[in-house]
Amino acid sequence: MLDIRFVRENADAVRENIRKKFQEEKLPLVDEVLDLDKKNREIKQELQSLQSKRNKISKEFGKLKGQGKLEEAEAAREKVNSFADRMEELAAMEKDVEAELRRRMLIIPNMIDPSVPIGKDDSENVEVERFGEPVVPDFEIPYHTEIMKSFSGIDQEASRKVAGTAFYYLMGDIARLHSAVLAYARDFMIGRGFTYCVPPFMIRSAVVDGVMSFAEMDAMMYKIEGEDLYLIGTSEHSMIGKFKDTMNDEADLPYTLTSYSPCFRKEKGSHGLEERGVYRVHQFEKQEMIVICKPEESPMWYDRLWQNTVDFFRSLDIPVRTLECCSGDLADLKVKSVDVEAWSPRQKTYFEVGSCSNLGDAQARRLGIRVKGEDGKKYLAHTLNNTVVATPRMLIAFLENNLNADGSVNIPTVLQPYMGGQTKIEKR
């Protein structure tokens, strides 16, 4: 959410930003919020004027009464009372106008970074850099669920009976591999100086409103019926929510946290043949990282966060690339975002395995995450998040890139301690 003063002073820039995101339908919102802002300031001004007059007359009332001028004192009291009805009316108007102003402000997208490429959708995202040499072996690579089935590692028929489509049972060595990757990701991030955290897996609506747009919420989150609780779609939401309504000492920044959680997503719509397996599912597990920092440090942390993911995947012998998200592919709260994509030897292309985002002060403004500087001045923090690894999607890249011609799968050295010393997964 933008600062209303920024919109007031930079209305044309806000409109241009909306155009760059190809959301022309939101252009009228700028004039609407400016009108509401003007009305709100007029209401406040009248309230302050009436309050000042009432205070002045109240003092006169006490003075007149003390002097025994009862008729004049009564007239002053009636005048004070006459202000009360108007002030009550104005207070109600102020509340309604501020609620309507906030509702519209939440819809206006955040200002994107000048470096963000302009494009309508993810088809216009821009490749930045490749890490590792993509390899296509000289033998056929089966679909990822077929690889899993060859180790008796997945049961989707049973999961459909139990929970419906887009769920799964992972079994045996594949289930162990799933857990091993998450354990390794935890220790990998701890080794990079992040504090490990297991957060709540449900959050209240006030936190949901603070961390994402209404459109994202509707497309992603499951609500708990009859309660003000939502299942998290990603742990960064409850992690950022940890700092809701806080005043933080500048000397304590940055906060760097890495979290484990299950995640639950609606994943509305049809996503194509390549996602019939475990690429896009309603339930998965994830290791995440977040940073709360000073505004001037967020570009540096942005680069460090996505590099962590690249380094993690390379340690598992998986080639990756980074893809700069264009303006039309950015969620409304994001200033800048980069996807990390893993190489798929079977498809001979890359696919998304993580996303790193700088949200500027948008989430901090919505949630009230403030910082007190050494000079005593107060300001909003910047928030960033990034995926370390999300399973079972990551298993697709892992299995394809470590598959051997005989159907076995190599276990990279760094992962072997988490797999009981196994160097390979082999058919039994």
**Domain range list for the chain:** 4-105, 122-425
pLDDT attached to residue 29: 97
> What is the sign of the dihedral through the CA atoms of 188, 194, 200 and 201?
negative
In angstroms, the CA 229 to CA 360 distance is: 26
**Contact 258/197 with Cβ under 8 angstroms?**
yes
By the 10 Å C-beta count (0-12 exposed, 13-18 middle, 19+ buried), 384 is classed as buried
Per DSSP, the three-state class of 29 is helix
List the beta strands (DSSP E) in 132-243: 154-155, 169-170, 195-197, 202-203, 222-223, 230-231
The single-letter DSSP state of residue 414 is G
Residue 88 Cα distances to 74, 169, 268, angstroms = 22, 60, 46
pLDDT at 244 over 90: yes
* 386 strand-pairing partners: 289, 356
Query: Which residues are designated catalytic?
Result: 265, 280, 352, 355, 393
Tokens 């076995």, residue? 408
pTM, two decimal places: 0.90
pLDDT attached to residue 273: 43
Neighbours of 418 (CB within 10 A): 20
User: Could you tell me the two tokens for 215?
Assistant: 């459109």
pLDDT attached to residue 53: 80
In angstroms, the CA 61 to CA 58 distance is: 5
30-39, 212-221, 304-313, 353-362: range with lowest mean pLDDT: 212-221
Q: What is the largest CA-CA distance in the chain?
A: 107
Determine the topology of domain 4-105 in CATH: Helix Hairpins (1.10.287)
Mean pLDDT on 359-371: 97
424 band by pLDDT with thresholds 50, 70 and 90? very high
55 band by pLDDT with thresholds 50, 70 and 90? confident
Mean pLDDT on 229-236: 94
Cis-peptide into 200, omega within 30 deg:
no
Mean pLDDT on 171-176: 97
**Contact 130/350 with Cβ under 8 angstroms?**
no
Mean pLDDT score of the chain? 93
- Phi, then psi, of 363 in degrees rounded to 5: -70, -40
**Contact 244/210 with Cβ under 8 angstroms?**
yes
By the 10 Å C-beta count (0-12 exposed, 13-18 middle, 19+ buried), 89 is classed as exposed
Neighbours of 298 (CB within 10 A): 22
Mean pLDDT on 399-409: 97
- Of all residues in the chain, the percent with pLDDT exceeding 90 is 84
Mean pLDDT on 163-169: 92
pLDDT, tens only, 325-343: 999 999 999 999 999 999 9
pLDDT at 388 over 70: yes
Q: Report the CATH architecture of 122-425.
A: 2-Layer Sandwich (3.30)
